[in-house]
Amino acid sequence: MGKNLLNIISLFTGAGGLEIAACSTGKVKRIVSTDSNEIFLETTKLNLPQHFPNVEHRCIVSDARDLKGISLLSRLGSDVDLVMGGPPCDDFTPFGRRKGMEGDKGPLIYDFLRLIDELRPRCFLFENVPNLIQQFRSFFDAFIGQAETINYRVDWRLLSASDYGAPTMRKRVILVGWNNETRAARDEFKFPNPTHTSSDQIELFVKNFLPASNVCDVLENLPDVGDNSAIKYHNHTGRKHRPKTVAHLKTVPQGVHVKKSYRYRAPWKGLCRSLTAGVDHSTKSYIHPVYHREMSVREYARIHGFMDSWVFSGNHHNGIKQVANAVPIPLGKAVLKNVINALCEV
């Protein structure tokens, strides 16, 4: 017989996207969320109890390099069923420094595995950027080899958020590892099939897919940040741009990326590029499809599928970073539903 409710540890929590996905299954008893950024973790700390009051929630502010499995288990108060998280991708993403293991954050993927070995969960879920299986494939293969060394059988897929209803081109490498003692659950688990596709593909190939979501589908009922009605939306304020900047923004067409200024305007009737937030404190969000300004935190959150009631802690910079780092909620829900169902049923 499987378990009714699960105990989970979330590493590199950020804005709590994976927490939302897991708790939405209704099969979570307790979660311990960890992150090195106190402001980011505050978002999950404040929101999760309000949205999922039946889930026991605890938080630990700590760099993953300083975390110990024994202290996490003590905080959890039980054995752990699932460990989930995505180590920072700064040293792997093509939009970042691309230092790999020579960078400050690249080696954190091995701290993730160290904690898996110390915690011995029934299952773990690891996510990261596609470039980890492209430019840095040797590190990814070594990661898999080390997971197998500590007796976890792994499978992975490159999944697109747009295939599950998010209006973004974002892709993520999702790797699921199963303890060798959890073979039945591993056999039960399947990566989720796509649920959405473009209209021409629907007509040509399948009839039971939903149409892909476009940016307009999630932004069209949001007022501009200057409107009186905008105040009722959390984190829906804009940055003030200099006249020179506004003049440049007006020249950027929808769906176009200007390399010189690093500006990109999201398309209205199409998919947005994978959200970014700039490097360090030079935060730049994408240009709104219609208005000549950068998008607000709430607009970014709509693209990634966060509910409007999920309030992001900190300032504009903090909010944009949190959302840009998050797995889109529809993608997280699709994967974690299957993982958690397998763990509960077997």
DSSP assignment string, 282-298:
---PPBPSSSSSBPPHH
CA distance linking residue 39 with residue 322, whole number of Å: 10
pLDDT (0 to 100) of residue 109? 85
What is d(CA 215, CA 240) in angstroms, rounded to the nearest whole number?
Answer: 23
187 falls within a domain: yes
Pairing of strands 28-35, 6-11: parallel
Total-model pTM: 0.93
- The angle that helices 137-149 and 108-119 make with each other, rounded to 10 degrees, is 10
Range of the domain at 157: 6-196+328-345
Give the C-alpha separation, 151 to 177, whole Å: 9
Tell me, yes or no, whether 219 lies in a domain: no
Adjacency order of strands within the sheet including 56-61? 56-61, 28-35, 6-11, 82-85, 123-128, 171-179, 152-160
Residue 242 lies in a domain: no
Question: Residue 336's domain is classified under what CATH number?
Answer: 3.40.50.150
C-alpha–C-alpha distance, residues 288 and 294, integer Å = 6
Q: Examine residue 277 and state whether it is found in any structural domain, yes or no.
A: no
pLDDT at 39: 97
How many CB atoms sit inside 10 A of residue 127's CB? 24
pLDDT of residue 89: 56
Please list the pLDDT of the chain residue by residue as tens digits (346 residues): 467 899 999 999 999 999 999 999 999 999 999 999 999 999 999 999 999 999 999 999 999 999 999 999 999 999 999 999 998 656 456 665 655 455 566 578 899 999 999 999 999 999 988 888 888 788 889 999 999 999 999 999 999 999 999 999 999 999 999 998 898 999 999 999 999 987 555 554 556 788 899 999 999 999 999 899 999 999 999 888 999 999 999 999 999 999 888 899 999 999 999 998 765 556 789 999 999 999 999 999 999 999 999 999 999 999 999 999 999 999 999 999 999 999 998 7
The whole-angstrom separation of Cα 202 and Cα 221 is 26
Residue 149 domain-assigned?
yes
Nearest alpha-carbon partner for 319 in 299, 346, 345, 340: 299
> What confidence score (pLDDT) does residue 283 get?
77
Q: In the structure, how many helices (H) and strands (E) does the chain have? A: 12, 11
Asked if 216 and 275 count as a contact pair (C-beta separation under 8 A), the reply is no
Residue 80 lies in a domain: yes
CA–CA separation, 72 vs 289, rounded Å?
A: 44
Q: Answer yes or no: is 318 within a domain.
A: no
116 part of a folded domain: yes
Round to whole Å and give the CA distance between 17 and 15. Answer: 6
